[in-house]
Amino acid sequence: MNDAIRNLGQRKISRRAALAGLGAGASFLAMPWVARAADDTIRIGFPTPLTGPYAAEAKDQVKSAELAIKLVNDKGGIGGRKVELLVRDGKLNGGEAATRTLELIEKDKVHAVVGALSSAVQLAVNEVTRARGVIYISISQSDTINEKKDSSKYTFHEAMNPHMTTAAVARHAFKKGNKVAHLVADYAYGHEMLRGFKRAQAAIGAETVGELLHPIGAPDYSTLMPRLRAMKPDILCISNFGRDQANSIKQAVDFGMKQQMKIVVPVLLHNQRLAVGPEVFEGVVGGANYYWELESKLPSAKTFNDAFRAANGGAIPTDYGAYGFTGVSSLLLAMQAAGGTDTEKVVAALEGLKYDVAKGAQHYRKCDHQSVQSVLVLESKKKADMKGANDFFNIVENEAPSEDVLRSCKELGFPA
């Protein structure tokens, strides 16, 4: 099974390899029918969207999650028990991911679930795990999962949330008196980012000159550009994700906006920068959970990068890839502290855990189980300044972890 998943991890599968896979298919065909033998292996379910537009991110997540498992197994596992990662394709669809999670719990009897990339899939997985009292560590960026309504004793959020990201980016990019225009994807995640930016603006004293919502998944932003330009902002904040980010930044640049204003995004995505190229992204500022260059300052990042390079032929871990590592590592550390897989004990251990596995000190806040962590602010490099194929960004800020940048427990609906 793990071999199969490692195959998935390779970027490209040649047709010949796929055909060879077909030949070996008989054994795989039989796989799902084989009842899992009752052994003492610790099983961690890992739903992630291997199919669809975020497959590259998902594969990075799988690689670094497997690395976390390997490092623990190399040291003898947890209390002598081997750990196994069960990767399932959630296909970027909440229904699929929920089904796969049900299978992981009901059939594979996993001890915990880590994963998800999109906000919707994370919430779908959470709906399944919390009803069944299974630990779930989400690695999808979202504010929603922090709120009382969607929280549970068993739900932890290892990824950053838009609130903390936008706060860090705004503190770096906004000055008092700046005029800010917002282009926002019209869905929960977009609105969460907008809310974060506007709060930070209020504290800094930057003024909003206008906000335009766009339909999610829109391929064309040309009809919005004249209005954005007419607002005459100093800063254009583009709060959307993935392909939308790539398309909207590209078209803003085409319309000559970058000459007039600075472009700021909540999260600067490694794979979108790759897809659109350095010319378009040049000078764009945004947040990130992880950037490999951190290794020059941080020993834990160096250790993580080196291990990742060793396991993946010299490749570097990306932003979303790192979530796979930090998310799974935090769970494994807690299991180690709890001396096994007893859910209540592991939950208690997670709540008390302090860890630094890749990006500095982290811990889970008590009320909403949000991982308090550092936030990087990056600026995309000019092509001429790039020192290597992966040298995309300058780290312009590394905001230290602090509960103060989070929404208060009271605001989220938890008793103070």
Partner 1 sequence: MERDMTVKSIPLAATSSGARKATDLAAALTNWRVLLSIAALCLLPWVLPSKALAVNVLVYGVLAMGYNLLFGYTGLLSFGHAAFFGAGAYVTGIAIGQFGVPWYGAVLLGVIGGGLLALAIGALSIRTRGIYFSMVTLALAQLVYHVALQASSWTGGENGLRGFTVAKIDIAGFSINFLDPVSKYYVLMVFAALALWFVSRILNSPFGAAIEAIRENETRARTCGYDVERTKLISFVLSGLICALAGTMSALHLAFVPLDVLHYQTSGMIVMMTLLGGASSFFGPFVGALAFLLMEDVFSLWTSHWQIIVGSIFILFVLFLPKGIWGTFLARVVR
Partner 2 sequence: MDAELILIQLFSGVALGAILVITALGLSIIFGMLGVVNFAHGALFMIGAYAGLWVASLTGSFWWGLLVAPIMIGVFGMAIEWLLVRPLYGRSVDDPLLLTFGLSYVLVEAVRIVFGNDGIPFPTPSQLTGVANLGVGYFPIYRLFVIVVVAVVLLLLWLALEKTKFGLIVRAGSRDPTIMRVLGVNISKVWLLVFGVGVGLAALGGVLAGPMRTVNPEMGSLVLIEAFVVTVIGGLGSLLGSVVAGLLVGVAISMTALFAPEMGTIVMFALMALVLLVRPRGLFGKAA
Please name which of 377, 373, 379, 366 lies closest in space to residue 409, comparing C-alpha atoms.
366
Q: Is 409 in the site for partner 2 (CB under 8 A)?
A: no
Q: Is 149 in the site for partner 2 (CB under 8 A)?
A: no
Q: Interaction with partner 1 in 49-78: which residues (CB under 8 A)?
A: 50-51, 55, 59
Q: Is 53 in the site for partner 2 (CB under 8 A)?
A: yes
One of 16, 23, 75, 149 touching partner 1 (CB under 8 A)? 149
Q: Is 8 in the site for partner 1 (CB under 8 A)?
A: yes
Query: Which amino acid, one-letter code, is at 349?
Result: A
Q: Across the chain, how many H-helices and E-strands are there?
A: 17, 15
Q: Is 103 in the site for partner 1 (CB under 8 A)?
A: yes
Shortest distance, position 75 Cβ to partner 1, whole Å = 29
Q: Is 292 in the site for partner 1 (CB under 8 A)?
A: no
Parallel, antiparallel or unpaired: strands 42-48 and 112-115? parallel
Q: For the stretch 76-91, what's the b/e string if a residue is b when 16 or more beta carbons lie within 10 angstroms of its beta carbon?
A: ebbeebebbbbbbbbb
Spatial distance between the Cα atoms of 2 and 160, rounded to a whole number of angstroms: 29
Query: Which amino acid, one-letter code, is at 159?
Result: A
In eight-state DSSP terms, residue 215 is: -
Q: Is 99 in the site for partner 1 (CB under 8 A)?
A: yes
Shortest distance, position 280 Cβ to partner 1, whole Å = 26
Q: Is 256 in the site for partner 2 (CB under 8 A)?
A: yes
Parallel, antiparallel or unpaired: strands 375-380 and 393-399? antiparallel
Residue 412 CA, chain-centre distance (Å), reads: 21
Q: Is 21 in the site for partner 1 (CB under 8 A)?
A: yes
In eight-state DSSP terms, residue 359 is: S
Q: Interaction with partner 2 in 2-31: which residues (CB under 8 A)?
A: 11-15, 18
For partner 2, give the closer residue by CB, 242 or 287.
242
Q: Interaction with partner 1 in 193-222: which residues (CB under 8 A)?
A: 215-216
Q: Is 54 in the site for partner 2 (CB under 8 A)?
A: yes
56 binds, among partner 1, partner 2, none (CB under 5 to 8 A by kind): partner 2
297: left (phi over 0), alpha (psi -120 to 50) or beta: alpha
One of 131, 230, 310, 361 touching partner 1 (CB under 8 A)? 131
Q: Is 37 in the site for partner 1 (CB under 8 A)?
A: no
Residue 223 CA, chain-centre distance (Å), reads: 31
The residue count for binding partner 1 (CB under 8 A) is: 48
Q: Is 218 in the site for partner 2 (CB under 8 A)?
A: yes
Contact 97, 91 (CB under 8 A): yes
Copy the structure tokens of residue 73.
């197994």
For partner 1, give the closer residue by CB, 130 or 309.
130
Shortest distance, position 51 Cβ to partner 1, whole Å = 6
229 binds, among partner 1, partner 2, none (CB under 5 to 8 A by kind): partner 2
H-only helix segments in 232-277: 243-254, 257-260, 270-276
217-246 footprint of partner 1 as x/- string (CB under 8 A): ------------------------------
For partner 1, give the closer residue by CB, 188 or 348.
188
Neighbouring CB atoms inside 10 A of 381's CB total 18
Query: Which amino acid, one-letter code, is at 183?
Result: L
For partner 2, give the closer residue by CB, 17 or 396.
17
| Residue 293 dihedral angles phi and psi, to the nearest 5° | -60, -15
Spatial distance between the Cα atoms of 132 and 126, rounded to a whole number of angstroms: 10
Chain residues binding partner 1 by CB under 8 A are: 1, 4, 7-8, 13, 18, 21, 24-25, 28-29, 31-33, 50-51, 55, 59, 89, 91, 93-95, 98-99, 102-103, 106-107, 119-121, 123-124, 126-128, 131-132, 144, 149-150, 186-189, 215-216
